[in-house]
Amino acid sequence: MLSRVANCLYWMVRYIERADNLARLIEVNERLLLDLGWKDAAGLDALWRPVIASSGDEELFESAHPDGLRREAIEFLTIDTDNPNSIVSCIGQARENARMVRDQLAESLWEELNGLYLFVHSTEGAALVRSNSTAYYERIRRSTFAFHGMAAATTLRGEAWDFMDLGRHLERADKTTRFLDITTFIEAQPDHFGLTADEHWLAILRSCGGLGAFRVKHRGRFTRRNITEFLVLAPDFPRSVRYCAARIDECLHAISGTPRGGFANEAESLSGRLLSDLAFSSCDDVLALGLHGYLDGLQQRLNAIGEAVFRAFILLPDEIEQRPPIPASSVSAVVKWQMEQQQQ
């Protein structure tokens, strides 16, 4: 598979997953505010600060909206095209990547993504954010579910699928750690936010779509320890960090053809270490390090895997450097220019 095609498929799914997770988080936060029935404007605005911080775009938001009101926070995360990680921006980037590899995608998959793109860029979509945000985020989530379902049903199980699944689980693991990290912001100032422990831990479970699965596994014992263990170390919950790490490792080895247990590149080495640490860690180990510090370390390791994937499968600098140059006299000026662009 061409590295350009692999890169487009990988980022197409990562951006869709990112939009889905952001829609979940905003919708759950809105529902939490309604359940609490807050009338304090300062408290309403403050509860959006951890959400902005979890997206990694806190500095950009502060520069654009120094007052940081609730409505500005929602629009920044949803429809602000100046924010590269807003829902609208993510869907736009996903469509652009899909457009470049349309021959690799089923027609129904392209139509679903294109329809979602047209919706979020329409006046109807922008108006719905302000008038009925619950319906807007529900539309986003259902469309992303449909996209993932169509991809699973129509994509050949080969390199294309492996790169798509790799992107999905890298993004999902990263977002689970960021959602869980929101609790550390809230716990640091419990009086300021006015939330009980149960309220904000349940909100995080809902954001990850894990409330029903958690009830089955832990019989409704909503403790800080149980929820942390479930979202980080559970081997059988599809959005836990450990489950995602296992899928990342499987995809990497399927792409390279290297048997699991060994490694052929840096990405496989990093993913294997991460999976091993998660498989042989307990919740006591996580809490002993401090939840925020542990989650921050996980995010850095996931970012390192993403960078190693780019170096191993997309950039391929070693192969480019080792390729003998073609004498300029043997090619036309146009072909020479195309070769230079590809090598760059």
Three-state DSSP class for residue 76: helix
Angle of helix 107-120 relative to helix 133-154, nearest 10 degrees, comes to: 160
Q: Sorting pLDDT into bands at 50, 70 and 90, what band is 196?
A: low
Mean pLDDT of 21-36: 78
Distance CA 296, CA 189 (A): 19
Question: Model confidence over 158-168: pLDDT tens digits?
Answer: 999 999 999 99
Predicted pLDDT of residue 151: 95
What is d(CA 86, CA 60) in angstroms, rounded to the nearest whole number?
12
In degrees, to the nearest 5, what angle opens at C-alpha 239 toward C-alphas 236 and 243? 45
Q: Structural domain boundaries of the chain?
A: 3-343
The pLDDT value recorded for residue 99 is 95
Beta strands in 63-134 (DSSP E): none
Lowest pLDDT segment from 66-75, 88-97, 226-235, 245-254: 66-75
Confidence grade of residue 318 (pLDDT, cut at 50, 70, 90)? low
Structure tokens at 322: 């080792």
Query: Which of 213, 173, 150, 200 is CA-nearest to residue 300?
Result: 173
pLDDT digit string, tens, across residues 214-258: 988 887 677 888 899 999 999 999 999 999 999 999 999 999 999
What residues have CB less than 8 Å from 154, skipping those under 6 apart? 106, 108, 109
d(CA 71, CA 87): 15
Collapsing DSSP to helix, strand or coil, 213 comes out as: helix
pLDDT of residue 315: 82
Tokens (6 digits) for 218: 């832990």
| Rounded CA separation 92/246 (Å) | 29
Residue 7 to residues 2, 103, 309, 321, Cα–Cα distance (Å): 9, 15, 10, 20
Nearest CA to 297 among 315, 311, 281? 281
Say what the pLDDT of residue 198 is: 63
At which residue do the structure tokens 């750690």 appear? Answer: 177
